[in-house]
């Protein structure tokens, strides 16, 4: 360190400013690399995760509306009204399928794929029971349809809604 003390004041200033400039450049390069990582993460959130959460929310809404249409179908007694509710249920189901396709295109992580597979299985079970429920209601077996709606169908609907990580949760 004696060499530094032997330098003239002008050269000491040049060395000191050179060190400060070198440290500033290193800090700048480090900052740029960290900003690139933040940019990548924010782009991933904006292009993948936010749309995925939006599609999941839409799917949950469509499924809830479908459930309401099921209950309405059971309550109706006139053929024309039941036909209208059948159309409504078909429309809700088609909307749900489109939303599922949009969401499936965004599934990227292995854990997310596993959760979505479990959701699809639960949803398939629920919709199979829903078909039985609609058939009972259409055949005029309203008491059996109500029992299925409150029993097995309700259990499967709750199972779909309780699928871990499947739906966005309000905190």
Residue 162's pLDDT band (cuts 50, 70, 90): confident
What is the rounded distance in angstroms from the CA atom of residue 144 to the CA atom of residue 117?
Answer: 31
Query: What's the pLDDT at 76?
Result: 87
Query: What's the pLDDT at 35?
Result: 96
Q: Which residue has the tokens 């690139």?
A: 36
What are the structural domains of the chain? 52-161 (1.20.1440.210)
CB contact at 8 A, 4 and 12: yes
Query: What's the pLDDT at 167?
Result: 60
H helices of the chain, where? 2-6, 9-44, 50-75, 79-104, 110-138, 142-150, 152-161
Cβ atoms within 10 Å, residue 27: 10
pLDDT in tens, 16-62: 999 999 999 999 999 999 999 999 999 988 888 888 889 988 999 99
Query: What's the pLDDT at 170?
Result: 40
pLDDT in tens, 137-150: 988 888 999 999 99
Task: Give the distance between the most distant pair of CA atoms in the chain.
Answer: 105
């Amino acid at each position: 360190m004696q060499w530094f003390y032997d330098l003239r004041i002008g050269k000491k200033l040049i060395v000191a400013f050179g060190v400060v400039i070198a440290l500033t450049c290193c800090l700048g390069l480090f900052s740029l690399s960290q900003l690139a990582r933040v940019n990548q993460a924010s782009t991933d959130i904006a292009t993948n995760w936010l749309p995925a959460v939006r599609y999941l929310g839409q799917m949950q809404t469509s499924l809830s509306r479908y459930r309401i249409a099921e209950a309405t179908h059971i309550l109706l007694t006139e053929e024309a009204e039941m036909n209208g509710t059948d159309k409504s249920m078909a429309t809700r189901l088609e909307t749900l399928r489109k939303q599922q396709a949009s969401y499936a295109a965004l599934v990227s992580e292995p854990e997310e794929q596993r959760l979505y597979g479990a959701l699809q299985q639960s949803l398939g079970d629920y919709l199979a029971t829903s078909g039985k429920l609609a058939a009972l209601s259409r055949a005029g077996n309203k008491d059996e349809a109500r029992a299925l709606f409150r029993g097995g169908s309700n259990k499967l609907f709750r199972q779909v809604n309780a699928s871990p990580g499947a739906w966005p949760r309000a905190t």
